[in-house]
Every structure is written in C-alpha cells, then in structure tokens.
C-alpha cells in the first residue's frame, strides 16, 4: 500500500482496491472504502497512525467484500462510524446477503470466503451524515445503490463504475447487476468536470473519456 497525496485535503492509498482519504481538519479523516480484509485494515491504520490522523468514519461506495472487508476491524480499533447508501447499507450490515444474492440461496463454503463475504459491521445512512466538503454521486449499475464521492477540491472517487482496460482485455466479462443503469452511469460520467478521477480498480487519471468508451464498447459487444 502506498499513500498518495492529491491535494491538502484529499489522498488515496494505492491498493488493488484504492482507498480514498478525505481530511475534514488537521487530525480527522474519512476513509472511502476499507479494502478486502483484516490485513488491509492493519496496513491502512499503520498509514493513518504514521500521519498522526484519526479515522472519523468510513464511507462505503458499495457493499462488495473487497470494499468493506476491513470495516469491522477498523471500526473495532478506532470506534469510527461507517456510512452506506440505500440497499448497500443492508448488505454491509449483513454481508451474507451478497453471497446469497450471487448464488440464489444460502451460500455454500466456497462462496463464504473473504472475497465474497465480509465481516458484519454497524452502519448508518450516509444521506443524513454526509461530511462537509463531500458530495454523493449515484453510480448505479455495477451494484444496487453504488455511489461515488466528489470532494470540495474537485477529486472524484468513482468506485466500480469503470473497469480498467487491462481487466477488460483479460476477462471480457465483468460483473454488472443492472446493464441499463451501468450504461446510464457511463453517460453521466462524461459530464463530470474534475481535477482527478480515482476508480477503485484503475490508476488515478485526469481524463476518463477513453476509459468510458472502452467500458461502453465492451458492454455493447457482449450484448450483441
């Protein structure tokens, strides 16, 4: 894991699932997602401690296990609150729902590993608790009520609304809950005007236009 500073208020931890950090003052920070497991949580807290920060809260973009896997560990260590949106709140509170949804019944052992079933954590509704300086973007498609976040300094955290060109070329198929909403979200992304964009599984970039087209074209190819 590597801490990357973008502005005085906004950072991210470069990771297989990128972790956003937003400073609300000199001491307190919000995390955007938490990574995939307890080990990720330990590494995140080590970075936070080195900067002499305190985790005020974790904002969940969506409830896939690789985004909420360290929630419980970090919450128990820091006492921080965890915030999610819509249906993602229920899946974050009861992670068995993700594996059950994917399978269509009670998940057997191989669907109950850390990659598909995170630990339970206590969750509050982000709509009533959005920190000053952050703005919610609805990014439906990949999962039920996935959100992104815009910071006051023009940085966009885009969750899994975009997949990297490398991932698409390697796998061709990627998980989309609602294809229609996914394509609508891609059109929405075209209208964003930011200084930097950070999808969860891509390199941070100042221009997402090409990535939007790559994602759109692959979805249309698969549909055809």
Q: Is the pLDDT of residue 204 over 90?
A: yes
pLDDT bracket for residue 112 (50, 70, 90): confident
Predicted TM-score (pTM) of the model is 0.95
pLDDT mean over 9-21 = 96
How much is the pLDDT for 18? Answer: 97
Q: What percent of the chain has pLDDT over 90?
A: 95
Q: Is the pLDDT of residue 56 over 90?
A: yes
Q: Is the pLDDT of residue 113 over 90?
A: no
What are the pLDDT digits (tens) for 115-126?
889 999 999 999
Q: Is the pLDDT of residue 137 over 90?
A: yes
Lowest mean pLDDT among 6-15, 63-72, 103-112, 150-159: 103-112
How much is the pLDDT for 128? Answer: 86
Q: Is the pLDDT of residue 26 over 90?
A: yes
pLDDT mean over 159-177 = 95
What are the pLDDT digits (tens) for 69-111?
999 999 999 999 999 999 999 999 999 999 999 999 999 999 8
pLDDT bracket for residue 158 (50, 70, 90): very high
* 61: nearest Cα among 157, 151, 155, 154: 157
Average pLDDT taken over every residue of the chain: 96
How much is the pLDDT for 68? Answer: 97
What CATH code would you report for 2-223?
3.60.15.10
* 8 A C-beta contact, residue 119 and residue 72: yes
pLDDT mean over 119-137 = 94
How much is the pLDDT for 34? Answer: 97
């Amino acid at each position: 894991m590597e801490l990357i500073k973008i502005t005085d208020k906004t950072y991210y931890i470069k990771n297989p699932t990128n972790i956003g950090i937003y400073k609300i003052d000199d001491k307190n920070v919000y995390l955007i997602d938490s990574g995939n497991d307890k080990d990720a949580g330990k590494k995140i807290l080590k970075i936070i401690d080195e900067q002499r920060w305190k985790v005020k809260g974790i904002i969940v973009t969506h409830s896939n296990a690789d985004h909420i896997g360290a929630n419980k560990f970090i919450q128990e260590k820091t006492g921080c609150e965890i915030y999610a949106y819509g249906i993602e709140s229920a899946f974050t509170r009861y992670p068995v729902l993700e594996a059950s949804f994917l399978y269509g019944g009670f998940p057997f052992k191989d669907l109950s590993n850390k990659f598909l079933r995170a630990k339970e954590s206590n969750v509050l509704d982000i709509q009533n608790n959005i920190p000053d300086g952050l703005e919610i973007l609805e990014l439906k498609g990949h999962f039920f009520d996935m959100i992104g976040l815009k910071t006051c300094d023009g940085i966009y955290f885009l969750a899994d609304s975009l997949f990297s060109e490398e991932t698409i070329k390697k796998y061709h198929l990627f998980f989309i809950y609602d294809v229609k909403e996914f394509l609508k979200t891609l059109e929405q992304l075209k209208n964003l005007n930011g200084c930097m964009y950070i999808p969860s599984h891509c390199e941070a970039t100042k221009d997402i236009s090409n990535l939007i087209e790559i994602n759109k074209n692959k979805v249309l190819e698969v549909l055809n």
